[in-house]
């Protein structure tokens, strides 16, 4: 599968156990009949899911039997280390059944699983009002009372600002939480990783200390071909000596490099909001300027530059001044709580503050899709979605002697938004999806009076 296939120290996490527990009280160990096991984590999906394929000569489909109400407990471990990943899921589907027609004594099939909360949520609708509550308080109430889970720990739920009056109109619990995350003062996400459920702001996630330092270079690849050799260097965050073979990126590729057209249309760089007050019969216009919010926001890299360089197009305007590219309309109750006439008839009104979160969230979520990379790395139970890493991305060119080949714009810190754990009997690898919210160093500024550019724009 990769150049590092024969080096067990890179992929020495092993599948210790995979046991299926039937609703009839029976259980079986499928560890020895596994062909592949894949676990999916995604910061934009509420729950973890996955699948495993087996070769079955005992017809467990009939003899257990497998009905779609089973639990599967998966345990991964690393020899000589305390690092371990243990998770329990619900099986919900069987497919890809292939029978060995030659012997009629064996079959292969795939069992798909997910967190039980996903299935619980699918069968419940919430119709409830919350008055004067913070968003995080509502999320906590939904997870405990409707999803019946204690997997949202206190340390993994971040307090939001302001009180809200919310009505949930017959939505599933997970749909309700995802909607609530769009109404927070700064962009929040709700997701599951190995620590359970998380409800945190993007700012909180990108501010975390990197869990791993990854690099990719021909020199490191060649070192791994020498069995028993060790290539050590110092971790830039802890100062400790590390084995770079465990930090090497096996392969990497761009998932998205840039798309100015899509980012413009979808409101990343600039947009407009017209709020309408149904009580006062009044409208108010608001605009979002990417330069302004970028300068105020937290970023992965300390001195991050924005994704554009203030180039002026044929209209002599920068992309962050195209406010009509995306226009939104939304009701508001701003200042109703301080208006003596309105508040007298309905006291204790909580403003929805749409002016402070709608355009800002749209821009931030678009920004997180603007530049993405995919890294194939050795399996590592320490890394989860929501963590940050550093990646020393190389430039793709012939390196001059004495000159750094580190990418000037896309090296540095990344937020991990998705992980595909890929496990076989011989190896454990992970496919990481990482994003940046700005360039490592600022782009060269566009020269507005460049004669050549001005002539091209006019031709």
What does the pLDDT look like over 88-119, one tens digit per residue?
999 999 999 999 877 778 899 999 999 999 99
**88 domain residue, yes or no:** yes
The domain in which residue 168 lies consists of 125-204
**437 domain residue, yes or no:** no
Which tens digits make up the pLDDT trace of 114-155? 999 999 999 999 999 999 999 999 999 999 999 999 999 999
* Same-domain status, 270 and 353: yes
**Strand arrangement, sheet containing 282-289:** 282-289, 270-277, 327-331
Q: Give the pTM.
A: 0.87
- Confidence at residue 448, expressed as pLDDT on a 0 to 100 scale: 66
**373 domain residue, yes or no:** no
**Sequence-separated (6 or more) residues with CB below 8 Å from residue 26:** 64
* Same-domain status, 198 and 278: no
**185 domain residue, yes or no:** yes
* Same-domain status, 264 and 352: yes
Handedness of CA 174, 178, 179, 185 (dihedral sign): positive
* Same-domain status, 18 and 105: yes
User: Is residue 294 scored above 80 in pLDDT?
Assistant: yes
Chain centre distance of CA 450: 41
**222 domain residue, yes or no:** no
Of the residues 323, 344, 360, the one at which a domain ends: 360
Query: What letter would DSSP give residue 444?
Result: P
Other CB atoms within 10 A of residue 90 CB: 19
* Same-domain status, 104 and 144: no
- Confidence at residue 459, expressed as pLDDT on a 0 to 100 scale: 63
Which tens digits make up the pLDDT trace of 185-206? 889 999 999 899 999 999 999 9
Look up the CATH number of the domain holding residue 159: 3.55.50
Which tens digits make up the pLDDT trace of 266-285? 999 999 999 999 999 999 99
* Same-domain status, 112 and 155: no
- Confidence at residue 245, expressed as pLDDT on a 0 to 100 scale: 44
User: Is residue 243 scored above 70 in pLDDT?
Assistant: no
* Same-domain status, 109 and 139: no
- As a whole number of angstroms, the distance between CA 355 and CA 372 comes to 29
**81 domain residue, yes or no:** yes
* Same-domain status, 108 and 136: no
Query: What's the pLDDT band for 220 if we cut at 50, 70, 90?
Result: very low
* Same-domain status, 18 and 47: yes
* CA distances, 10 to each of 183, 215, 382, 417 (Å): 43, 14, 14, 23
* Same-domain status, 134 and 112: no
Query: What letter would DSSP give residue 342?
Result: H
User: Is residue 75 scored above 70 in pLDDT?
Assistant: yes
**62 domain residue, yes or no:** yes
For 161-198, letters b (16+ CB in 10 Å) and e give eebbebebeebbbbbbbbebbebbbbbbbbbbbbeebb
**Number of compact structural domains in the chain:** 3
Of the residues 327, 343, 360, the one at which a domain ends: 360
**424 domain residue, yes or no:** no
User: Is residue 301 scored above 80 in pLDDT?
Assistant: yes
* Same-domain status, 84 and 138: no
**Residue pointed to by tokens 């699948």:** 51
* Same-domain status, 268 and 344: yes
Neighbouring C-alpha atoms within 13 Å toward the C-beta of 132 = 4
- Angle (CA) 278 284 287, round 5°: 135
């Amino acid at each position: 599968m990769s150049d590092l296939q024969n080096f067990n120290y890179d992929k020495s996490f092993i599948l210790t156990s995979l046991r299926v527990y039937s609703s009839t009280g029976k259980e079986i160990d499928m560890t020895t009949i596994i062909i592949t096991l894949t676990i999916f984590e995604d910061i934009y999906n509420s729950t973890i899911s996955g699948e495993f394929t087996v070769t079955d000569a005992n017809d467990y489909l009939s003899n257990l039997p497998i009905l779609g109400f089973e639990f599967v407990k998966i345990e991964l471990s690393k020899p000589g280390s305390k690092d371990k990943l243990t998770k329990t899921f619900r099986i919900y589907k069987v497919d890809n059944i292939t029978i060995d027609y030659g012997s009629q004594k064996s079959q292969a099939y795939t069992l798909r699983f997910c967190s039980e909360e996903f299935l619980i949520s699918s069968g419940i609708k919430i119709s409830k009002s919350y008055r004067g509550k913070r968003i995080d308080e509502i999320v906590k109430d939904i997870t405990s009372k409707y999803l019946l889970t204690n997997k949202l720990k206190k340390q993994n739920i971040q307090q939001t600002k302001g009180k809200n009056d919310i009505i949930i109109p017959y939505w599933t619990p997970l749909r309700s939480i995802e909607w609530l995350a769009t109404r927070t003062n700064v962009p929040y996400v709700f997701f599951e990783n190995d620590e359970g459920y998380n409800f945190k702001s993007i700012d909180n996630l990108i501010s975390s200390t990197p869990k791993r330092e990854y690099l990719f270079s021909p020199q490191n690849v060649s070192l791994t071909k020498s069995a028993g050799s060790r290539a050590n260097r110092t971790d830039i965050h802890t100062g400790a000596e590390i084995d770079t073979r465990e930090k090497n990126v096996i392969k990497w590729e761009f998932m998205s490099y840039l798309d100015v057209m899509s980012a413009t249309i979808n409101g990343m760089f600039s947009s407009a909001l017209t709020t309408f007050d149904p009580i006062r019969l009044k409208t108010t216009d608001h605009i979002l300027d990417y330069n302004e919010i970028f300068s105020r926001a937290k970023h992965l890299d300390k001195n991050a530059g924005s994704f554009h360089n203030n180039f002026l197009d044929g209209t002599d305007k920068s992309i962050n001044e195209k406010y009509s590219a995306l226009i939104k309309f939304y009701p508001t109750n701003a200042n109703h709580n301080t208006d003596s006439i309105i508040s007298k008839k309905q006291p204790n009104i909580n403003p929805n503050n749409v002016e402070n979160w709608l355009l800002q969230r749209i821009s931030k979520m678009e920004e997180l899709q603007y530049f993405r990379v995919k890294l194939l790395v050795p399996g590592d139970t320490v890394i989860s979605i929501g963590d940050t890493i550093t990646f020393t991305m190389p430039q793709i060119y012939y390196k001059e002697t004495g000159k750094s080949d580190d990418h000037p714009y896309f090296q540095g810190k990344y937020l991990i938004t998705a992980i595909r754990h890929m496990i076989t009997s011989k190896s454990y690898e992970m496919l990481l999806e990482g994003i940046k919210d700005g360039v490592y160093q600022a782009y060269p500024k566009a020269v507005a009076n460049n004669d050549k550019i001005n002539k091209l724009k006019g031709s």
